[in-house]
């Protein structure tokens, strides 16, 4: 019997790319798959094109929200539509490199019951090189991207989740909306005793959008600042470290012409943290000492000199290089 996998894709216009992503998922062999598309407010003509593309294909389902609820909540909704033991997320501007990726993911996760999440390798569709905007791990892609390692996060463009781990962790925090939701979820998955790894054995090709619909100056940096501080607060990061992070992010914002976004992000992150604190911290956010040590080791938090960390705040953000 073939393994069961749910593939989730969030759509918002960009119809040609979305249909290509759907076709890539549908062409996967060796698995029993269901493809769940959650549309977040595409134009009527684009929705009509999506309906035509999936007509007569019973394994593909389109759920229309009529509005943009954010990446985090959109993935929650898409995941809840299915019931397979594994969830594979694919950005709507990406395709699988191989037609056996889903089957190989299922075999890997079947063989390792404590593997909660797998981060895929993300290559630029047009150049074949590692996508720098989809690299959120210590080290640089040219030195690390072709080898497997344990990690504390994954990238949304392509990844796999064990449904049991995802649901036990509470899914994504919808308040994050966009940016950092993968790290936030991964910490909870780790705290439940599961593992998270990066594996180049599973690769997607990302059609990097040169227009960068959500670029740094139009809102991306705001979400980054807000969500970093809010997530760190949820996991009990000491106040003095939150203040230090806020200062560093403000400095980086100033260097990149995003000072206003940084300050708004700090203000709104503090407000979100206050609301979270009023409700009380759920047990899954209380990281045990083993997980904290694991995070420090994987993220190299203790072995980077202060002056090196300070100099990094003067680096240009990736899209502005």
| Nearest 10 degrees: Cα torsion 209, 211, 216, 220 | -60
**What are 233's two structure tokens?**
């607060």
Is the CB of residue 21 less than 8 Å from the CB of residue 90? Answer: yes
pLDDT at 274: 95
Whether the per-residue pLDDT at 320 is higher than 50: the answer is no
Whether the per-residue pLDDT at 289 is higher than 90: the answer is yes
Least confident of 1-10, 132-141, 181-190: 132-141
Tell which residue, 178, 174, 183, has the closest CA to residue 117: 183
The tens digit of pLDDT for each residue in 5-44 reads 999 999 998 999 999 999 999 999 999 999 999 999 999 9
Using CA atoms, how far residue 302 sits from 9, 57, 243, in Å, is 37, 52, 18
Where does residue 128 fall: left (phi above 0), alpha (psi -120 to 50 degrees), or beta otherwise? left
pLDDT at 119: 96
Across all residues in the chain, what is the average pLDDT?
Answer: 90
The tens digit of pLDDT for each residue in 239-271 reads 999 999 999 999 989 888 889 999 999 999 999
- More confidently predicted of 192 and 216: 192
Is the CB of residue 51 less than 8 Å from the CB of residue 62? Answer: yes
Is the CB of residue 284 less than 8 Å from the CB of residue 192? Answer: yes
pLDDT at 41: 93
Alpha-carbon distance of 278 to 25, in angstroms, equals 42
3-class secondary structure, 179: coil
Domains of the chain: 4-206 (3.90.550.10), 216-320 (no CATH)
Where does residue 75 fall: left (phi above 0), alpha (psi -120 to 50 degrees), or beta otherwise? alpha
Whether the per-residue pLDDT at 298 is higher than 70: the answer is yes
pLDDT at 211: 52
Confidence of residue 321 (pLDDT cuts 50, 70, 90): very low
pLDDT at 143: 78
Whether the per-residue pLDDT at 212 is higher than 80: the answer is no
pLDDT at 313: 53
Mean pLDDT of 277-300: 91
Whether the per-residue pLDDT at 307 is higher than 80: the answer is no
pLDDT above 70 as % of the chain: 90
Whether the per-residue pLDDT at 133 is higher than 90: the answer is no
Least confident of 94-108, 129-143, 210-224: 210-224
Whether the per-residue pLDDT at 182 is higher than 70: the answer is yes
pLDDT at 219: 78
Tell which residue, 179, 195, 186, 185, has the closest CA to residue 229: 179
The tens digit of pLDDT for each residue in 42-59 reads 999 999 999 999 999 999
The tens digit of pLDDT for each residue in 75-86 reads 999 999 999 999
């Amino acid at each position: 019997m073939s393994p069961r996998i749910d593939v989730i894709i969030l759509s918002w216009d960009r119809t040609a790319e979305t249909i290509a992503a759907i076709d890539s998922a549908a062409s996967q062999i060796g698995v029993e798959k269901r493809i769940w598309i959650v549309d977040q407010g595409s134009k009527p003509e684009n929705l009509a094109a999506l309906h035509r593309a999936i007509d007569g294909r019973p394994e593909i389902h389109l759920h229309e929200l009529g509005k943009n609820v954010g990446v985090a909540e959109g993935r929650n909704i898409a995941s809840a539509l299915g019931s397979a033991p594994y969830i594979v997320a694919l950005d709507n501007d990406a395709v699988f490199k191989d037609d056996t990726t889903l089957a190989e993911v299922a075999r890997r996760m079947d063989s390792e019951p404590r593997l909660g999440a797998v981060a895929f390798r993300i290559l630029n569709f047009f150049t074949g090189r590692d996508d720098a905007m989809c690299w959120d791990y210590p080290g640089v892609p040219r030195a690390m991207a072709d080898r497997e390692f344990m990690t504390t996060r994954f990238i949304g463009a392509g990844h796999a989740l064990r449904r049991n781990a995802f649901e036990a962790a509470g899914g994504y925090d919808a308040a994050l909306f966009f940016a950092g939701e993968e790290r936030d979820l991964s910490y909870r998955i780790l705290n439940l005793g599961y593992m998270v790894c990066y594996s180049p054995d599973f690769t997607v090709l990302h059609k990097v959008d040169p227009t960068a619909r959500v670029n740094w100056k139009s809102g991306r940096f705001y979400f980054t600042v807000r969500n970093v501080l809010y997530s760190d607060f949820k996991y009990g990061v000491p106040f003095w470290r939150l203040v230090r992070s806020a200062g560093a992010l403000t400095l980086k914002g100033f260097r990149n012409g995003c000072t206003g976004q940084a300050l708004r992000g700090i203000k709104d992150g503090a407000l979100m943290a206050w609301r979270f604190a009023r409700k009380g911290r759920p047990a899954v956010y209380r990281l045990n000492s083993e997980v904290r040590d694991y995070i420090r080791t994987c993220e190299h938090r203790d072995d980077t000199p202060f002056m090196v960390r300070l100099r990094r705040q003067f680096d240009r953000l990736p899209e502005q290089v």
